[in-house]
Amino acid sequence: MTGKRLHLLSGKDLDSLFQAIEATNTRVYTHSIIGTSHPEFAKAISLQIDCDISQGIETSRFSNGETSVTIATSVRDNDVYILQTACEPVNNVLMELLIAISACKMASARRITAVLPCFPYSRQDKKDRSRAPITAKLIANMLEVAGCDHVITMDLHASQIQGFFNIPVDNVRNLYAERAMIDYIEREFTTTDLVIVSPDAGGAKRAAAIADKLGVELAIIHKERKVANKVSRMVLVGDVQGRNAVLVDDIADTCGTLALAAQVLKDHGAATSNAVVTHGFLSGPSVEVIESSQLDRLVVSNTLPLPPHAMSCKKIQQMDISYTIAEAIRRTYNGESISVLFR
| 3 found inside a domain | no
pLDDT in tens, 78-99: 899 999 999 999 999 999 999 9
pLDDT in tens, 241-291: 999 999 999 999 999 989 999 999 999 999 999 999 999 999 999 999 999
What's the pLDDT score for residue 36? 82
Query: Mean pLDDT, to the nearest integer, of 178-195?
Result: 90
Are 26 and 169 contained in the same domain? yes
| 181 found inside a domain | no
Are 205 and 302 contained in the same domain? yes
Containing structural domain, residue 81:
14-174+322-342
What's the pLDDT score for residue 16? 56
Are 69 and 200 contained in the same domain? no
Contact (Cβ atoms closer than 8 angstroms) between residue 334 and residue 20: no
Are 153 and 140 contained in the same domain? yes
What's the pLDDT score for residue 57? 80
The 3-state secondary structure of the chain reads CCCCCCCCCCCCCHHHHHHHHHHHCCCCCCEEEECCCCHHHHHHHHHHHCCCCCCCEEEEECCCCCEEEEECCCCCCCEEEEECCCCCCHHHHHHHHHHHHHHHHHCCCCEEEEEECCCCCCCCCCCCCCCCCCHHHHHHHHHHHHCCCEEEECCCCCHHHHHHCCCCEEECCHHHHHHHHHHHHHHHCCHHHEEEEECCHHHHHHHHHHHHHHCCEEEEEEEECCECCECCEEEEECCCCCCEEEEEEEEECCCHHHHHHHHHHHHCCCCEEEEEEEEECCCCCHHHHHHHCCCCEEEEECCCCCCHHHHCCCCEEEECCHHHHHHHHHHHHHCCCCHHHHC
**Domain count of the chain?**
2
Contact (Cβ atoms closer than 8 angstroms) between residue 150 and residue 101: no
| 217 found inside a domain | yes
Question: What φ, ψ does residue 102 adopt, rounded to 5°?
Answer: -60, -40
| 108 found inside a domain | yes
In terms of DSSP bridges, do strands 79-83 and 111-116 run parallel, antiparallel, or are they unpaired?
parallel
At residue 183 the predicted structure's pLDDT band, cuts being 50, 70 and 90, is confident
Are 141 and 198 contained in the same domain? no
Query: Exposed/middle/buried for 172, CB within 10 Å: 0-12, 13-18, 19+?
Result: buried
Which CATH number do you get for residue 195?
3.40.50.2020
What residues does 230 pair with on adjacent strands?
A: 227
Are 68 and 195 contained in the same domain? no
| Amino acid at the residue 234 | M
**Can you tell me the distance from the alpha carbon of 72 to that of 268, in angstroms, rounded to the nearest whole number?**
57
| Amino acid at the residue 203 | G
Are 214 and 120 contained in the same domain? no
pTM: 0.85
| 1 found inside a domain | no
Query: Mean pLDDT, to the nearest integer, of 93-112?
Result: 95
What's the pLDDT score for residue 234? 81
Are 193 and 123 contained in the same domain? no
Are 284 and 327 contained in the same domain? no
Other beta carbons within 10 angstroms of residue 62's beta carbon come to: 8
Query: Mean pLDDT, to the nearest integer, of 222-249?
Result: 83
Are 166 and 257 contained in the same domain? no
Are 32 and 132 contained in the same domain? yes
What residues does 227 pair with on adjacent strands?
A: 230
The more confidently predicted of residues 1 and 178 is 178
| 333 found inside a domain | yes
Q: CA dist 184 to 30, 142, 143, 178, Å?
A: 33, 36, 34, 10
**Can you tell me the distance from the alpha carbon of 253 to that of 74, in angstroms, rounded to the nearest whole number?**
38
| 26 found inside a domain | yes
Contact (Cβ atoms closer than 8 angstroms) between residue 34 and residue 57: yes
Residue 175, pLDDT > 50, answer: no
pLDDT in tens, 4-58: 444 343 334 445 555 554 554 444 446 677 778 998 998 888 888 877 665 578 8
Are 310 and 328 contained in the same domain? no
| 182 found inside a domain | no
